[in-house]
Chain A
Amino acid sequence: MSRTAQKRLLKELQQLTRDPPPGIIAAPKTESDLFTWDCLVAGPPDTPYAGGLFNCQLQFPTDYPLSPPTLTFTPSILHPNVYPNGEVCISILHAPGSDPNMYELPEERWSPVQSVEKILLSVVSMLSEPNVESGANIDACILWRDHRDDFNKKVKRDVLKSLGF
């Protein structure tokens, strides 16, 4: 099982290095361990996250293409769909069949057809369009919904901080 995962991860890495999507860099943390990746995501333009570079970590399970990886922002960012501990909550990262609320459609969830690239692209689109209806960080949701200016200000400050200013 683990061998399949390794093979597939290698393939995905090759694919990513050969044809990298704009604004996304991803690679395993160490050569020996293919199951933990470090990624850099650039904040999409025309959003408060623009200009930011966000570090996040992908942790793959051993039965990887069958179950989804987890994605964690390190450090965490202020976003309605990111838990305070940095974990990202988007439907593509949820295993199928475990939806207690019947909230997400099955085709929106994880399936082996997805890939690291698609996950990261989803994260970029999540950054530009938060979904407050199923928020992970309710403070951020309320801030985003009711006090957009404050939200933008805070995010910009965080962005500056993340860049070391």
Chain B
Amino acid sequence: MSSSDTQHATRPSDSPIGATCRICRGEATSHQPLFHPCKCKGSIKYIHESCLLEWLASKNISTSTTSSVNCDICHYPIQFKTMYDDNMPDKLPWMLLFWSSILSVLNSVKVWFTISLACLFLVAGIPLAWNCIRNLYIILLDGQLPIPNQFFKSLIYGYYELNDNSGSNSISKTFFNQDTNLIDLTYFFSIGIYNWTQIVLVIILLIALYFQYDMVVREPVFAKMIYHKIGPQYTKEELFKIQLKERFPMMDDESLNHIARLMRERDNVQAEQDANNNNNHDNLEQEHHEEEFENGPQQHNHRNDIEDLDEPMVQDVRENHIPNEFDETDLEDHDYDHQDAELDGTSSSANDSWDGTEHNIANELLSDHEDDAHFEMEQRQMEIEINRENRNAQRQFDDLLDRHVLENQNQNQNNNGMPLVINADVPQPPRNRPVIPEFIPPPELAQPQPQRPAPQNDQINADQQVLPPIVVNLRLKFSNILTYYLIACLSISLFLFITFFIPSVIGLILIQFYLFVINMLKNSIEFLLQFSTSKNLIYSNKLFINFRKNLYPHISPIFFEINEFKNNLFSNKLFLRSLPVIVAYSTIIFMIYISSNFISKGFNRDNGMKNARKRLIFQILFGIQCTLKVFVLFFIELLGFPILAGLLLDLSLFTPLFVNSFSYKTLWGSQFLIYWKPLVGFIYWGLGTMYMHWFAKFIGMIRQYIIRPGVLFFIRSPEDPNIKILQDSLIHPLKIQISRLALSFFIYAIFILVGFGSFTIVLFPIVLNLKFFEITKLISSNFLEIWLLTTFAFSANQFIDSKESIKHFIRLYWNYIFEISSKKLRLSSFLLGKDFQTERGHIIYRNLFYKFLNQSSAELSNQNLFTDPKIPAEAKELFRINPNVHAYFVPDGQLIRVPSSDIVSRNYVQTMFVPVTKDDKLLKPLDLDRIKMKNEKNSGTFGYLEDQTTEFDGYSIVYSPPSFRSRYITLIVLIWFFAAVLTISSALLSQITSTIILFALYLPTKLIFGATQLTNLLKFLIDDSLNHISLALICTGGIILAQTCDGVYKRYKEIERQNEHVHNEHENENMENAINHNHNANINDNNRNENEIADTFNEPQHKRFNFFEFVNVSIEETKELFFNIIESGIFKWHLFLVFLILTHAIGISTNFFNLLQGTVFGLGYISKRFYTEFREPLFRNWLNFSIFSKQSMNTIIVLPLTLRAFQTSLTFAHLYRINRNMPTKRLIVKFWNYLYETTLTTTIETAIPIIFCWVNFVLFEFYTNNDQYDNIPQVLLFFWDSRLSQDSNNIPWTIFQHLTYISTILILLRYIFINIYAFISNWFGTAVQSVKDEIYAKGKALENFPDNENENDSQNENEIKVIPETTD
């Protein structure tokens, strides 16, 4: 801002009359002028300086220390002007300026140095440390250097160089092929990448394991499992005694024992007494409760407060339960009742407070009894009764356990081992309670909460976990960075020491031990063998001879290998190197498993473990064990599964399609990646995940729209309430879970291999001998092409997926397929839930003639074919009697129970699929014992802990034909077949569509332009599309088809609606009909509705179809499509990428161009002219510095460029992120501006003038010295190539030659000087400003925001935000 502006802005008269300060609402006075220091407008535009300062002071913001203060509302920095001392000289003393600038230079150098050092450490230092420390440990383990006699080298390189042939580290092959005499920057660079990958993977693994452990330990089931293993710490009596002791420290042991005995007896008596009047009590409670609920909210709250207050007491009351009495069902209730009864007589305040408890109890009782009623309703079903018992017992057990876990926590947290009961104020037996103790609720409890507060674990945790906050105060200071780096190195070395070195040592020892054992075994076997061969003493020597003959030769090499391993311990193979570690870890895991089992041996729910320390150890060991189990399962499911699926997909689909049907030497996926093979895993993972997602979508569609609910009960539905992944994987035995996973993967694999492979491997290439289905395009490793194709395919897929009509048609197709095939297979009842009488049996015919050749007439010959079914014998008899009837209907098959919902519980399924009669009587009673046994076997030891929701359990009765299984398999085959038909036909259709469009483009262009390159290209494309399927064409065709389809579908729907409207208006008398119709439409399920729509769509009854209208509509549609695409996020994303690439390309090429011009021609010319002894200018091999190898040189050049590109990308990404919702036009403008500012200016100032000069002078040269050159390119070549070389030294120089090089130098120098000047003046200005600020500044004063600057921007971006009314 210029100085005149500033003066103008600070004039107080600037504010209009009536403007008020936004804080004090006062007007401008002569003392206190109003300012508008930010972008706010309207009534809050102005502010007094003092008010602002006051407000800032109240927020603890000081204007002197913070560089810029942002306005609360518009978030623009508030404009301050620094006030200077009056006696500040106009021109600052030079010395001062000099020293201060030197200081600031040093400062900034220091800052930059620090930052770059930090970056260096982060990018290269830490991986290097990791690398070196790892190698050091390896050296220590080996006792020898990988590269003999060169310690440091072997520290850095390790076994990489030796590794080249083994192939285990393919990264080494691509990067490390240098001669090792040079400092190799590339190596350090790649060390960075490689080791960072390692570090990141290790960190991810550790974090995953930790969180897994955390989740497992927090899982409620885990506590129950521990309870199951080691039981409670105290029996009821002990607990009670402890409580008593706590409460009455003066009591001696004898009286304690006495009271405890009394209590137990009382409990027993009470239990018997209260069993009778339980129901009565409940009813009363219930009424009371409802009444209470009707009252106003205040009372409601009040009650809640009380409840909160009493929660600890309730808790306490529960403590009194005997953990080992839970087979007595109503124990809990009695206890509570007892408490109530006892307290009736106490004071009123006590009454009040116990009221709350009563309600709690009432609620519980209520829910219990509701549950009971619910169960009673279903009691006639035996299998449910089993469930119910289980659940009752389970619930009680859970309750007991919750309490118990609570205790445990308390005890574990209490370091001095004193058992502490929750809220020690209250524990006391009801009988001895003289007065209600004054209980002051902690503040957290006082908050109103409507429901029963959660178990108080959280609170206890919160109380205990008040730790002093760890202050992470990382400062980027020079000395600090070194310290951080040292700390990082230390922690790395420590980490590697613990996780790699020690396990290796242990593993080595273990291997020795195992080898010893194996050797012993081997020796004994050999001894036995010798023994048996030498003396034919025992009968079984035949076995030994067989063994020796057949097996031993196979086994002995293994021994040999192992011995070899022992002797020549470390070769550089990755597997052998990691063997000791693996051995050690697996031994440790095994030990954990064994020891946890050993500790818990002899303990169970009834017989609790007493020792607190032992309990803790067991908990940790068991936790680790469970974590590993869950981790293995999750790993298989989330990583192993998709990767395998991807591999199979590659094998059966991509390799045959993309590569060549007959060469299976290399998979497509591995061809795709030359640089780093392990990346194949990522690709396979992505492919597999996509495939599984797609499969799940298909299943979901079928489940939702087509088949009867309950058919797919074995595939988990997303809305299944029984899914508790963690709990499931904890509870069920590992073996069963893995076998389940293996089974499902087996099915997946078969689907993939057979489903795809039978087409791609067998049908197309071999049976049909078609080359058509080979996609040749995707073999190339041209990254850009593959990227474009993939994004195109992806967006096409997204586009087609988003069309409602496409979904609708696909659903119709499948509906039809399912209906037809289930009809043919007589599975309608089972699959679709539609019971057809005609499917309940088969028709027998008189003879084969009627059966195969004359079916319809035979069926017609029997008037009541289906109404009068016969048994086969009867039918045969009738055939004999009645010669006119040739067919009879013979019912067969049976009715079975099947689950009626997809979310039935697992145990319930075991009782399904049993034959029943028509009125739902079991044909033979369920073998309940067997079912129970099977359930137990499936669920393992902890199975009873699982509470599956049984509310969706229910069955329906469907018809199942004989040979059900083969019919079902046939159905699956049919579905597969039709899926293939759908896929292939739609692909072909899309391809044909786009071919036709190409052809339609080709003919006119050919006619108009003749045979140009464009027509050739089109012709080539058409030829190609006739010979091969092509992904691009399929996608294009797919998009076009989908859009057309959608448009037509919408149009017809509209016409249909209009017609309906007209129809209804005209035929008012048929109102009844219409209502019926509507009614039907309402009742009918989705399928029917869609059928109707489809019918109307298919019937050409709407004759008013107008071709032009249709064309209009499609043009509109296309327009809309076009605009949609342009405004869509993906288009903007591509725009962003294009601009990004453009920026980089222009920037990099300009820089290269300038560098080349400057060094080759500029320096070359100067050296040639003025230093004649400088024979060899920096020409051609201008990059040949000898200290660095070529790769390093490349790194030197590439690294800054990469950094620059990185920085540009970040800025660009930021630009994109903040503007991504902008209309495309403005986005382009923004991008263009950025491009212009950053790179184009340089290009315009340097490259373009240079090119201009060159062209001009070359032309001049050519026209002036016409005789020496044949054509213009020759001149250019001469200038470019040989004018500055030594060969042309004796050719005389012309003026234009001089001019060419001089102009180049001048232009570059000008650019350099301008930049340097700008930099220096900028620097100088900053220096002056900083000196002024440091020495002469008095303070800051407000300044007005410039009114007219960036008017356009402020209109759109910075309107004053209306404060949203969000409440707290």
Contact = CB atoms under 8 A, between A and B. Distances in A.
Interface of A: 4, 7-8, 11-12, 15, 63, 65-67, 76, 78, 81, 84, 89-92, 94, 96-97, 103-108, 111-114, 118, 122, 125-126, 129-131, 134, 136-140, 142-143, 154
A116 to B, nearest CB: 11
A113 to B, nearest CB: 5
Nearest to A142: B450
A91 B24 contact: no
Contact of B1366 (A65, A90, A97, A112): A90
B25 interface: yes
A97 B296 contact: no
B450 A94 contact: no
B1364 A108 contact: yes
Contacts of B449: 138
A85 B54 CA distance: 33
Given A84-B301, A96-B72, A113 B44 contact: yes
B866 to A, nearest CB: 52
5 contacts: A12-B25, A122-B1365, A130-B1367, A138-B448, A139-B448
Greatest chain B CB density within 10 A among A8, A67, A76, A112 is at: A112
A129 B448 CA distance: 22
B1361 interface: yes
Given A137-B448, A138-B450, A114 B25 contact: no
Contacts of A112: 22-23, 51, 55
Given A11-B25, A12-B25, A97-B59, A139 B450 contact: yes
B73 A111 contact: yes
B1363 interface: yes
Contact of A106 (B24, B72, B301): B72
A63 B1365 contact: no
Contact of A65 (B24, B301, B1363): B24
B170 to A, nearest CB: 47
Contacts of B54: 4, 66
A99 B25 CA distance: 27
A54 to B, nearest CB: 15
Interface in B1336-1368: 1361, 1363-1368
A137 B58 contact: no
Given A91-B1368, A107-B72, A112-B51, 4 more contacts: A63-B58, A84-B448, A111-B55, A154-B296
Contacts of A138: 448-450
B301 A139 contact: yes
Contacts of B1365: 90-92, 122, 125-126, 129
Interface of B: 20, 22-26, 44, 51, 54-55, 58-59, 72-73, 296-298, 300-301, 304, 448-450, 1361, 1363-1368
Given A7-B26, A113-B73, A104 B450 contact: no
Nearest to A111: B72
Given A90-B1367, A91-B1367, A112-B23, A107 B1361 contact: yes
Given A84-B448, A112-B22, A140 B1368 contact: no
A11 B300 CA distance: 42
Nearest to B1361: A107
A126 B107 CA distance: 54
B1049 to A, nearest CB: 38
Contacts of A125: 1365
Contact of B23 (A65, A81, A137): A65
Contacts of B450: 138-139, 142
A11 B26 contact: yes
Given A66-B55, A106-B72, A113 B1367 contact: no
Nearest to A89: B1368
A32 B698 CA distance: 75
Contacts of A81: 1367-1368
A129 B1366 CA distance: 10
A94 B1368 contact: yes
A7 B72 contact: no
Given A89-B1368, A91-B1367, A139 B297 contact: yes
Greatest chain B CB density within 10 A among A66, A78, A94, A113 is at: A113
B1212 to A, nearest CB: 28
A157 B571 CA distance: 87
A66 B51 CA distance: 9
A125 B26 CA distance: 29
B24 A8 contact: yes
Contacts of B59: 96-97
Greatest chain A CB density within 10 A among B55, B72, B296 is at: B72
A108 to B, nearest CB: 5
A92 B58 CA distance: 17
A120 B1218 CA distance: 35
- In the A-B complex, list the 7 residue pairs whose CB atoms are closest, starting with the nearest: A11-B25, A112-B23, A90-B1367, A81-B1367, A131-B1367, A66-B58, A122-B1365
Contacts of B1363: 92, 107-108, 114, 118, 122
Contacts of B304: 139
A142 B297 CA distance: 12
A142 B304 CA distance: 14
A114 B1364 CA distance: 12
A108 B1365 CA distance: 7
A23 to B, nearest CB: 15
B55 to A, nearest CB: 6
Nearest to B300: A139
B112 to A, nearest CB: 33
Contacts of A154: 296-297
Contacts of B24: 4, 7-8, 11, 65
Given A66-B55, A107-B1361, A112-B51, A134 B25 contact: no
Greatest chain A CB density within 10 A among B22, B25, B54 is at: B25
Nearest to A124: B1365
Contacts of A94: 1368
Given A8-B25, A63-B58, A96-B59, A103 B1368 contact: yes
A136 B301 CA distance: 12
Contacts of B1367: 81, 89-91, 126, 130-131, 134, 136
B26 A108 contact: no
Given A91-B1366, A138-B448, A107 B73 contact: yes
Nearest to A67: B58
Nearest to A4: B24
A131 B1366 contact: yes
A113 B1362 CA distance: 12
Greatest chain A CB density within 10 A among B44, B54, B297 is at: B297
Contacts of B301: 84, 137, 139
A46 to B, nearest CB: 17
B454 to A, nearest CB: 13
A131 B26 CA distance: 35
Contacts of A130: 1367
B54 to A, nearest CB: 7
A159 to B, nearest CB: 13
A153 to B, nearest CB: 11
A154 B296 CA distance: 8
Nearest to A97: B59
Given A84-B298, A113-B23, A90 B1368 contact: yes
A66 B72 CA distance: 13
Greatest chain A CB density within 10 A among B23, B448, B1363 is at: B1363
Nearest to A82: B1367
B22 A113 contact: yes
B298 A104 contact: no
Contacts of B55: 65-66, 111-112
B568 to A, nearest CB: 61
A137 B1368 contact: no
Contact of A11 (B20, B44, B297, B1364): B20
Contacts of A126: 1365, 1367
Contacts of A107: 72-73, 1361, 1363
Contacts of A142: 450
A138 B304 CA distance: 11
